[in-house]
Chain A
Amino acid sequence: MKYDILIAGVGGQGVVLASRMLALAAMKAGYHVSTAETIGMSQREGSVSSHIRIGEDVSGSLIPAGQADLLLGLEPAETVRNIPFLKKAGKAIVNTHAVPPASKPPGSPEYDPEALLSFLKASCPGLLCLDFTELAEEAGTYKAANVAMLGAAAGAGTLPFSEEALQAVLEAEIPEKYRAVNRKAFEIARDRISGL
């Protein structure tokens, strides 16, 4: 068994936390995991991604191009940036909530989220898109968009471990005062996605 997940987003969106939750759930299911995160200078509002590799063998933590089974995109442009990692027929779930960059350095293309979302839909059959930021806000805070996307991944039924394993990790790892809102975000997203 080999299953590679890539999470893409912008610094501050909770990509590292989401990656840790998936890795812990995979470990509970008895697999080896290795992850690569963006930590340091790029974290400051830049593009960030986490690679999570799950399997029977220990491998290097970077996913080769075209090998990810699942791409969780917390932001449209960042999803597109990382789509070359997704395998043909791989699953992509994208948060439609755009985060426009701070400034437009000379020569940087205009950011048109709608155009990028159309590109994603055209190039990834079975793409699941939803405004997870809004959905998380419904649950209590926009900050739970990362956990909402984990709920979506569970709802899509593609993870190599059970939803219960993931829920148990969330219960154990998320500090108590944020637990309820994250649980709610997870459940709303899961139900919304499995209903799609």
Chain B
Amino acid sequence: MHLNEKKLLMGNEAIALGAIEAGVQVVTGYPGTPSTEALETIIRYSGSCGIYTEWSSNEKVALETAVGAAYSGAKALVTMKQVGLNVASDPLMSLTYIGVKGALVLLVADDPGPHSSQTEQDTRAFGHFANIPVLDPASPQEAYELTKLAFELSHEFEVPVILRTTTRVSHGCGDVAVAEGEPLPVQADWEGFVKERRWTIFPRLTAERHPWLEGVQVQLSERFSGLPYNSISGNGKIGIMASGVSALYAKEAVEAVRGFEELFTLFRVGTVYPFPEKAALSFLKGIEKLVVIEELDPYLEEQALQLIGKAHLPVDVYGKKNGFFPVSGEYSVDLVVDGINRVLERLGESVRLSHAVPAVSREELPPLPVRAPTLCAGCMHRTVFYAFKQAGKQFKKESEVDTIFSGDIGCYTLGNAHPLNMVDTCLCMGAGVSIAGGLSRTNPGAKHVAFIGDSTFFHSGIPAVVNAVYNGANITLAVLDNRTTAMTGHQPHPGIGVTALGSASKAIDIATLVRSCGVEFVKAVDVESLAACIEAAREALEFEGPSAVVFKGRCVGITKSVSRCTIDPETCTGCGFCVKQLGCPALALPAGEDKPIIQNSCSGCGLCAEICPSGAIRVEGIKQEVKQEVKQEVKQEVKR
């Protein structure tokens, strides 16, 4: 064993290596930023280390699969983002009473900001709610170590354990000292399932287990108080309590002050739930004032307030609850400096933490162009959105009927951006279909379209389709089938015929599935033809009752393009229609120019050529192979 083998690892990679070292045997998950790379890293070692690894159809299924493995004495890991935990919460809330054998660790990645999420929920609070221990690393190195600890605790206490990260930990890279240069194979055997009463939840069993569960929390709190991940440094009268990456920000902010150890005492909490009361008490007894620095919920602050009250300590607390720190958003060193300065001012201290002096301050910046995330150049979703926009307009012109477009979670949420403006609602995975159903009840005079990606369809769209058929909702399902889970980095899903490990599996055909649910109008269309897409959209809109169109194409993120669009400057009238209509990042009308240009990112999809009023855009080169493959699929579809 070379204990000092150093690697540059992303937090998620460090978690994967920690899990392998802990002997993980079964890994499941559903992709979600910022958690995805953990399972992707396990996939890389799945063969050499002998780990069963799967992308499951959703987080609930992933957790339940891991539960089955852990019931059999295997060590299991489930990965998801914070909103994935909501999907998995049903099994999790029950599992907490039952407990596990082997080990079961959940990686749940929170996203303060948020950068790529619908919510700013705090998994530390979820752990508290569900009585599940939560570890909260601050860096990739700690993520690696706490993953191993999570497996140890889960095995010893027979409970699921949550390893909670945030974007800066999961998606940050750092040098990590790992035990093995190359991960070693994990143990290939486990006890196997033993029939016992404890695996079948019943009201009586829950009643019996509840006191045990509460007892485990007390034992864990005791254990946590002795761990080095909850550490105290400095000996000043102003205490600072922080967890996760906020603890590093706090350290950096105060270290800039000469003699900071005399003024501040820093308490870093690495095992956040159950709160390490004993360690916290010895910290609180040594200070006069407490500053709590944490992203998202005032979780530590509430724990501290409770403990201070319980122990009758004369410590004032400064945090989110009294306005010293922001209640939401991502933190930074600068934000922590400002917060601590507000406290120092309140306390009448003369010392202040300082900010560095920038070359140019934010206030001095000239106006900058807005550069919002956009569908990629050549993205098939743009064609489908544009087709529905046209079909909706025609429909409105002819029959004065409005169309309401519900979106869903994935790249295609970006269909809401200017100038497409094609997403009127978006809530959570799979919600668009059912929301369209609800809208159809309350807005019967309008048409209702639900856009859903292929992976999201399998994740949670199917029950909503069943419901639409069962209750006769007048909606159109538009499946954006680009044959991958694109937003999270192109993972396979049940519709592709390939597993996480790249081996062949049965591909579940979306159109067939929708048809078998009882949808009577089902059509598959190749997105290569805008006209065909508009036609299909129109027919679906005209149909009374649930209808579905499966739009088939390829994600430009994983297909090599050999074609490119060019504008003939002679023919181009400079009307700017292409730029204004499509919002394609390859098209631009630079300041001072009178004709649009096509930039390097063009993949030659030809959508702009199809809509150019003067026929000035040509596609050069053809994506032969890809087109052929899609056509084949559509042909099979039509035969069905």
The stretch among B351-359, B443-451, B523-531 that forms the contact with chain A is B351-359
**Does the CB pair A65–B334 fall under 8 Å?**
yes
Interface string of A104-131 (1 = CB under 8 A from B): 1111111111011001000110000000
Is B355's CB under 8 angstroms from A87's CB? Answer: no
Specify which chain B residues have a CB less than 8 angstroms from the CB of A111 in the assembled complex.
369, 590-591
Q: Shortest Cβ distance from A136 into chain B, in angstroms?
A: 11
Shortest C-beta distance, A63 to chain B (Å), equals 8
Chain A contact residue count (CB 8 A cutoff):
69
Q: Which residue of B lies closest to A64 (CB)?
A: B333
Task: Tell me the count of chain B residues lying within 8 A, CB to CB, of chain A.
Answer: 69
How many inter-chain residue pairs (CB < 8 Å) link A and B?
A: 208
Q: Is the CB of A86 within 8 A of B374?
A: no
Known contacts A40-B34, A84-B362; A100/B355 CB under 8 A? no
A85 within 8 A of B: yes
Name the CB-closest residue of A to B244.
A60
Contact indicator B376/A45 (Cβ below 8 Å): yes
A62-B418 contact, Cβ under 8 Å, with A45-B373, A84-B362, A86-B360: no
From 286 to 301 in chain B, residues with beta carbon under 8 angstroms from any chain A beta carbon are: none
Interfacial residues of chain A within 2-57, with CB under 8 A of chain B in the complex:
10-12, 19-20, 23-24, 27, 31-47
Give chain A residues whose Cβ lies under 8 Å from the Cβ of B138.
60
Q: In whole angstroms, how far apart are the Cα atoms of A20 and B175 in the complex?
A: 11
In chain A, positions 59-75 with a C-beta closer than 8 Å to chain B are 59-62, 64-67
With A36-B171, A64-B355 as known contacts, state yes or no: A44 contacts B141, CB within 8 Å. Answer: no
**Identity of the chain B residue whose Cβ is nearest the Cβ of A143 in the assembled complex:** B600
Expressed in whole angstroms, the minimum distance between the Cβ of A82 and any Cβ of chain B is: 10
| Residue among B245, B334, B488, B591 with the highest chain A CB neighbour number at 10 A | B591
Option from B364, B375, B376, B588 in Cβ contact (under 8 Å) with A101: B588
- B591's contact among A84, A88, A110, by CB below 8 Å, is which? A110
Could you say which of B124-132, B577-585, B626-634 contacts chain A? B577-585
Is the C-beta of A155 less than 8 angstroms from some C-beta in chain B? no
Q: Is the CB of A60 within 8 A of B355?
A: no
Q: How far apart sit A65 and B368, CA to CA, in the bound complex (Å)?
A: 18
Residues on A facing B (Cβ under 8 Å)? 10-12, 19-20, 23-24, 27, 31-47, 58-62, 64-67, 77-78, 80-81, 83-90, 92, 98-113, 115-116, 119, 123-124, 142
Give me 23 A-to-B residue pairs in the complex whose CB atoms sit less than 8 angstroms apart, sorted by A's number. A23-B173, A27-B175, A31-B175, A35-B174, A39-B171, A43-B373, A44-B375, A45-B585, A60-B245, A60-B248, A64-B333, A65-B358, A65-B362, A84-B358, A92-B359, A100-B590, A101-B370, A101-B588, A102-B585, A103-B419, A110-B369, A111-B590, A116-B368
Apart from A61-B168, A80-B365: 17 A-B pairs, beta carbons within 8 A:
A44-B414, A60-B245, A66-B358, A80-B368, A81-B365, A83-B360, A86-B359, A87-B356, A101-B585, A103-B579, A105-B370, A105-B417, A108-B370, A109-B367, A111-B369, A112-B592, A142-B600
